[in-house]
Structure 1
Amino acid sequence: MADSHSSSPATSSLPPLVAGAYRKRIGLISVVACFGGLLFGYDTGVINGALRPMTEELGLTPFTEGVVTSSLVFAAAFGALIGGRVSDGIGRRSTILILAILFFVGTLFVVFTPGVGILVVGRVMLGLAVGGASTVVPVFLAELAPYEIRGSITGRNEVAIVIGQLSAFVINAIIGNVFGHVDGVWRIMFAICAIPAVCLFFGMLRMPESPRWLVEKGRHEEALAVLKTVRPEDRAIAELGEVEQVAEEEQEEKKVGLGAILTNKWLFRILLVGIGVSMMQQLTGINSIMYYGQVVLIESGFEANAALIANIAPGVVAVLGGFIALYMMDRVDRRKTFTIGLTLTTTCHLLIGVASMLLPVGNPARPFVLLLLVVAFVMSMQTFLNVAVWVWLAEIFPLHMRGVGIGVSVFFGWMTNATLALYFPSLIDGIGITGVFFLFAGVGVLALLFVITQVPETRGVSLETLEEDVSTGAIYAVKKRKARRFLR
């Protein structure tokens, strides 16, 4: 699939990638960094099965259930905002190390909590770590990966997220069904996430810093040394030259962070589009399914233990869809995947709403039909939207505003996520599954229009070329040409 940027001088002047040991090095770096995504997934998914025994032991009310669940997500919004700024200041690698410590300490607070207060404090700490990881890990991977394989390398973090969520669902089902009679069984469910936190910390001690961040801080020799470990030598030297040139231009023009965004209409526009893409992802309701999947399945007609087991199915297809998405990332345009994904998820929302109307409570087919449609929704979401959204956010912003840009965008996404997490039980109680999924379908139509008219393409372009096109507005001219071609 041709890309109108693929012949740009800045991109074609780089020596081609050839076979070499550097590919294994990039693979190792991505595996270690993606423990951050694994923790993101486990910590957000574990509440799905832990909530019921937690409620019984701690005496939670429907409101405090919402507080315990959403406290992590609201904190994640601020973690995303702060994490981006911190990583701009002290480096991507150092920030990830701090996040690993925060994951571990937050887990201890939750596991040993005597009551709701300490539990919420622990969930807030985990939320700050989750939010920070959601912004810093994709940027770290995008800045280390060659542009030709940037999509598949950066997208591995999202696959790690859904593997973490699936792990939480499976572990919850095993522990819940085998040790469900044990007091404090939910504490065991949470304790598991201390293991990947330790792996992330010790793994990142041996990983390099982002070469693009090093150049921005004037540490050019260190940047070249890092690039030579993840590129062929001639490519490393040429790529360093590109990054240095862009950094020098930014310094001459005094383009830095938030100030540059507010004084450049194109940068401000791309920030607004980034916010829109992040919110679009959450307004599909995907995380409501991941947090409250057992509640939805019980509402559909499953018994509690059966729902706990059936809840594994969306987790399995999420992982499968993630691997399919990785294959597509460097082959299919981001805008096209967004468009296909929103079309499919909106259709699934409509079908879930219609099925819940036509199959009343008590109909033996109802729980299985709704489970099948929920699985189809999660598969569509993971294959075409989740991975692509995180990759797009990690690559669209210029270097000088990358931490701020992705931090602000993901902040709004997490706030949308948190609001849904807080009110989803009330929505289910108030308007039922039918009304909730019809509401999601209406939002999906608006999101589809937003993608077609506002979101520019980023696939197959070096970060430096993207930076120039975003800063000058040239990227929108490319987007209009692609939109006309797509509509034809």
Structure 2
Amino acid sequence: MGILTLKEDRPTPKEVYNWRIYVCASIASFAACTIGYDSAFIGTTLALPSFASEFKFAEYSKDNLALLKQNIVSVYQAGAFFGSLFAYGSSYYLGRRYSLILFSAIFMVGAGIMLGANGDRGLGLIIGGRVLAGIGVGGCSNMTPIYISELSPPAIRGRLVGLYELGWQTGGLVGFWINYGLSETMAPSHKQWIIPFAVQLIPAGVLLVGALFIPESPRWLFSKGRREEAVKNLTWMRQLDADHVYLSEEIRNIETEIESFNADIGQGFWKPFQALKDRKTQWRFFLGGMLFVCQNGSGINAINYYSPTVFKSIGITGSNTSFLTTGIFGVVKTALTFVWLMILIDHVGRRNLLMIGAGGGAFCMYFIGAYIKIAKPETTAGSANASLSSGGIAAVFFFYLYTAFYTPSWNGTPWVLNSEMFDQNTRSLGQANAAANNWFWNFIIARFTEQMFNAWGYGVYFFFASLMVLSVFFVFFCIPETKAIPLESVDRLFEMKPVWKANKRLLAELASTQRESNDVIEGMKGDDEKVSEAHSEYKSAA
């Protein structure tokens, strides 16, 4: 098999891999552009001399200024935590598509409120607007991976959900560079720092308009009994007739899964919570949350939100130099996200990426921490002729190497896994749990990073490195490989032991069942009724 060859759960017509699913996934992924932009621009905006001057940062003590910055950054994550939970309710009643429309509109209101802030009014409008904007992106972070995974053929599901991560990195790239460009081309002024806040409205507006034209998730429509509309949307996405054998099998898969769940638990807003009584479901919710504990334990969001502070700890001084270094960091992340999206996620697999990324990233963090402890670069950073030593250059190299390990592994893979590991009726609740965990741990990092650097210094790097080492063992023993597994077969995947062999064993089972069905159908050629019955029996067995 070539590196771009797709590994399919069953023979798939080429029409299924069409432009429509890519367009729908791309439009939904503009939610991630908004999230990525905000995570990147806010740290460098707070470091702009024009922003610091207008809001009188010089009058604050070191500790009080750290607290103020942390509050500005972290209220956004606090809002996102609640937004991700609210999205469960909107998803149940409104669907995936209308939830995207609703939460993108909430974000735009919050972003608009921020534009009213100035030195006379104080930071209240920025803080209040960021809470509201956070609710908006929290809801979108819940809905986007679910929507994409539910319209995706299994063989390219990782790639399509990966568009969400690509959107995140594209927004981040703009966010990392915008203040470097403004500081180079504009004199310090109110306009200089307000522009980055205004740019937030662009990707949110594209999502709001685009979501008006994309179809609702067929799986959600099936779950609500709107079969005719669901079949219509599915035939449009797959570019196949409703009576095509591939589409017939997919429809039967979805309906069988829904019927099975309804028989065990039933329909209703609170019914999925009853599934939490099952230990197996509890375990999956725990795994989904822990993936984001590990993701944030890598230290990436400390870098995203406080990149000037991070680079200062290595010995890089001057706001423009810090902005430039941060911008290069954004370029590295975005470039490697393309590699992850097009090749790695659906070929190397989820488990291998996470373990390699955590192991390599830990080594880099240990090196950076050791350099800071030995060289103490901050003690010479303020001198007039200060420049990076060879050790400092090596530390910067290892910082970018850390980025190269982290980006194609922990950046987007937890979102892919969480979009795949739940059945139809717990998927929205499971994603709400995952998104809430993501934003909760984002909040913790955003709220305490500045104080951690003030108190621990190089110890911050050792702390994150050690957490990454632990995550290698967590993934190996707890996370099964979901690559190429149909969503309707995920329950069976999580039943198989040992975890590290489950994917191969399940794919072998599915292939064996497919061969048996084909043999039966081959012997029944000419009898359409028996062929149809054989297909039904095969899908029920699978």
Tell me the TM-score normalized by structure 2: 0.83
Out of 73, 83, 89, the position equivalent to 1:79 is 83
Tell me what 1:28 maps to: 23
Task: Provide the residue aligned with 1:481 in structure 2.
Answer: 501
Task: Please identify, of 327-336 and 52-61, the stretch whose mean Cα deviation from structure 2 is larger.
Answer: 52-61
Amino acid aligned to 1:77: F
Q: Which residue of 2 aligns with 1:347?
A: 363
1:262 corresponds, among 276, 285, 298, to 276
C-alpha displacement of 1:184: 4.3
1:372 to 397, 400, 424: 397
Letter of the structure 2 residue corresponding to residue 20 of structure 1: E
Deviations 1:335-383 (A, max 9, x none): 1111111111111111111222333323622553332222111221111
Indicate which of 413, 422, 430 corresponds to 2:455. 430
8 A contact 1:344–1:377 mirrored in 2? yes
Pick aligned residue for 1:236 from 237, 247, 269: 247
For structure 1, the residue ranges without an aligned partner over 5 or more in a row are none
Rounded to whole Å, the distance in 2 between the matches of 1:273 and 1:358 is 38
Deviation (angstroms), 1:412: 1.8
Unaligned runs of 5+ residues in structure 2 are 58-64, 381-386, 506-542
Instruction: State which drifts further: 290-299 or 49-58.
Output: 49-58
Whether the aligned pair in 2 keeps the contact of 1:325 and 1:388 (CA below 8 Å) is: no
Q: Specify the code of the residue in structure 2 equivalent to 1:321.
A: L
Secondary structure at 2:190's aligned position in 1?
coil
Distance in 1 between residues matched to 2:295 and 2:448, nearest whole Å: 17
Letter in 2 for 1:36: A
Any conservation in 1 of the 2:313–2:372 contact (CA below 8 Å)? no
| Structure 1 residue corresponding to 2:492, chosen from 469, 476, 487 | 469
Contact 1:84 1:407 in 2 (8 A): yes
2:14 to 1, 14, 19: 19
Counterpart CA distance in 1 for 2:290 and 2:33 is: 25
Match of 1:56 in 2: 53
Residues 342, 395 of structure 1: alpha-carbon distance in 2 compared, 3 angstrom cutoff: same
Q: CA deviation at 1:410?
A: 2.2
Note if 1:181 corresponds to 2:188: yes
**Larger Rg: 1 or 2?**
2
Judged with a 3 Å threshold, the aligned counterparts in structure 2 of structure 1 residues 230 and 95 are, in CA distance, closer, same or farther, namely same
3-state DSSP of counterpart to 1:391: helix
Q: Provide, for residues 410-459 of structure 1, a one-character-per-residue CA deviation record: whole Å limited to 9, x for no partner.
A: 21221111111111101111111x11000111111221111111112211
Deviates more, 1:371-380 or 1:277-286: 371-380
SS in structure 2 at match of 1:20: helix
Question: What residue is the counterpart of 1:140 in the other structure?
Answer: 147
Equivalent-residue separation in structure 1 for 2:111 and 2:165 (angstroms): 22
1:289 matched to 2:269? The reply is no
- After superposition, the Cα gap between the structure-2 partners of 1:128 and 1:236, relative to the gap in structure 1 and judged at 3 Å, is same
> Which stretch shows the higher mean deviation, 162-171 or 60-69?
60-69
| Structure 1 pair 356–441 and aligned structure 2 pair: CA distance change class (3 A) | same
Asked whether 1:247 is paired with 2:262, we answer no
In 2, distance between residues paired with 1:379 and 1:260? 41
Q: CA distance change for structure 1 residues 342 and 399 in 2, over 3 Å: closer, same or farther?
A: same
Secondary structure (helix, strand or coil) at the match of 1:399 reads coil
Q: 1:131 aligned to 2:176?
A: no
Q: Deviations over 1:165-200 (max 9, x none)?
A: 111111121012222422242211110121122111
How many residue pairs get matched?
472
**1:315 equivalent among 325, 330, 334:** 330
CA contact (8 A) 1:57 1:184 kept: no
Return the offset for 1:484: 12
- 2: distance between equivalents of 1:49 and 1:483? 43
**8 Å Cα contact 1:260/1:267 also seen in 2:** no
- The Cα shift of 1:21 comes to 7.8
Q: Deviations over 1:206-260 (max 9, x none)?
A: 1000011000000111111111112133223321111011111111112565433
Instruction: Map 1:113-124; keep pairs closer than 5 Å.
Output: 113=117, 114-124=121-131
Match of residue 40 from structure 1: 35
1:131-178 CA distance string (max 9 Å, x none): 122221011000001011100011110011011011111112101222
CA distance in 1, matches of 2:280, 2:169: 34
TM-fit CA distance, 1:130: 1.7
Alpha-carbon contact 1:321-1:380 (below 8 Å) kept: no
The letter for the 1-side match of 2:231 is L
State the secondary structure of the residue aligned to 1:332. coil
Whether contact under 8 Å (1:211, 1:223) holds in the other structure is yes
Q: 2:533: which partner in 1?
A: none
RMSD after superposition: 2.2
Check conservation: 1:297, 1:367, Cα contact below 8 A.
no
Aligned equivalent of 1:403, options 401, 404, 428:
428
**Whole-Å Cα distance in 1 between the matches of residues 401 and 223 of structure 2?**
44
Specify the SS of the correspondent of 1:218: coil
Instruction: Give the alignment of 1:72-111 within 5 angstroms.
Output: 72-111=76-115
The 3 A distance-change label for structure 1 pair 482 and 354 is: farther
**TM-score, length basis structure 1:** 0.92
